[in-house]
Chain A
Amino acid sequence: MQTIIDEEHIIQHLIADDNSIINGLYHKYKKGCLYSLQQLGADNVAEDIFQEAFLSFVVNVKRGKFRGESKLSTYINTIAKYKFFNHSKKRKPWTEDISELEIVVDENDDTTYDSERIKELTFKLEALDEKCKTLLRSFYFKGMDLKHLSTEMGISYDFIRQKKSRCIKKLKNSMTK
């Protein structure tokens, strides 16, 4: 029972963007996850895979993608397993396994991302004013609907919709690509 309470707290902290617990979590899950990875034969890439898995794990929990269907340690180990199979040199053999995983590891869609554009966007997003930053982050990262946001911010739905469009426009105008 203690574990469940602890895990609920962890989830609450992360959803609330409390990053103070992140370092503790990193060390809490590291040993077990590395052991699992080593069992898969991931000896000298295990640390890197764990770090990637940990980042996806935190991001997913923050975004509310973790549905509480397993213990957090199982969840992070599953992500790590997925990442290792993927890392096993993108040679197709493991793709069948990947499709069996019933979890969202990263944002799995078929989009081809333009890495240069992503790079520039990460900088430009940081440079936006706080209101735009919060709005775009709440909608695109947290996945909060505009109706809910309008209530939370005490503004009309139409206004927030227009505000979002203006923020995107502002972002676009600041971009070279």
Chain B
Amino acid sequence: MDDRAIKIHELKEKYFVSDGSIQDKLKLKDIIRDTLRTQEYEEFEYELHIRKALIENEKHHIKSDIRATENTNSTPVRRISIKKLISIAAVFAVVAIGLNSIYNNSSDDYNSGYLAMIEDYQSESLGKLSVRGAAISDSYIDSLKQGIDLSLQEDYTKSKELLRPLLGYGDRHELVNLHLGIDEFMIGNYQGAERNIKILLSSEDDSIREEAEMLLAQLYIKEAADDQAKSLLIKLSETHNHKYAIMAKEILKNKYQ
């Protein structure tokens, strides 16, 4: 090998073998990029693909090992209560709305992300839905499900139309309010959303109250009410066992530090 070939070989070996940090590797890659000619760099990229393929192969084998054992167990039917269902819907909406609104990403990113979440949500939760709660009438459940579906399909106005009449159903109205709050938020009626959400802040049901609190924090951010947003996020981040404690901490770190 001539000097150049030796140098290239050493650089590549250092790249594939070294145990440096991500930054070190990127620096080394820059050096390789500067040193190698086009065709040589293509060879290097081919080697990168080999490494990636080997990693994917390994993951595939590990997955098969886990699956083989899992399949020997009987998988219980996943049951999910209507309350849990709405809670999940709310979480997804909060995450989708919240993170997007904070950082004002492009609507394309938002739409594709949200649609992807709908897909996950429907396939994983709705498809396996087994509604519990004998006290709830079938028509109520149907309307609730349809309302959530419409909301997830981004038809917030129709969702509202379907959910609003359900507000009269005793303690269940909290769940309806939560989803109505999400609908109003998505439509851009922040005052309406705030009305729906604030009712839930005194809920005795932790899961509903926590969703409402996080959604309200997102609303404050959206309305540039930074002081209110910050103080609510601090409260959430400091509440032991709050579902969104860590997320609140992360938002504070990103947005207000």
Contact = CB atoms under 8 A, between A and B. Distances in A.
Interface of A: 19, 22-23, 26, 38-41, 43-45, 51, 54-56, 58-59, 62, 64-65, 85, 88-94, 96-97, 102, 104, 106-111, 113-114, 117-118, 121-122, 125-126, 136-137, 139-141, 143-146, 161, 168, 171-172
B9 A91 contact: no
Contacts of A19: 61-62, 65
Given A91-B110, A143-B17, A39 B246 contact: yes
7 contacts: A41-B94, A41-B214, A43-B88, A44-B120, A65-B19, A91-B110, A126-B57
Chain B: number of interface residues, binned into ranges: 35 or more
Interface of B: 9, 13, 16-19, 21-22, 25-26, 29, 45-63, 65-66, 69, 87-88, 91-92, 94-96, 99-100, 102-103, 105, 109-110, 112-114, 116-117, 120-121, 124-125, 214, 243-247, 250, 253-254
Interface class of chain B by DSSP? helix
B91 A110 contact: no
A171 to B, nearest CB: 7
Given A39-B245, A145-B17, A125 B49 contact: no
Contact of A91 (B22, B56, B69, B99): B99
B208 to A, nearest CB: 14
Contacts of B26: 109-110
Contacts of B95: 41, 88-89
Contacts of A141: 51, 54-55, 58
A141 B214 CA distance: 43
A125 B57 contact: yes
The 3 nearest A-B residue pairs measured at CB: A89-B113, A121-B53, A140-B51
B96 A89 contact: yes
Contacts of B214: 41
A97 B253 contact: yes
Given A19-B61, A39-B246, A41-B244, A122 B49 contact: no
Contacts of B246: 39-40
Nearest to A140: B51
Contacts of A104: 21-22
Contacts of B13: 145-146
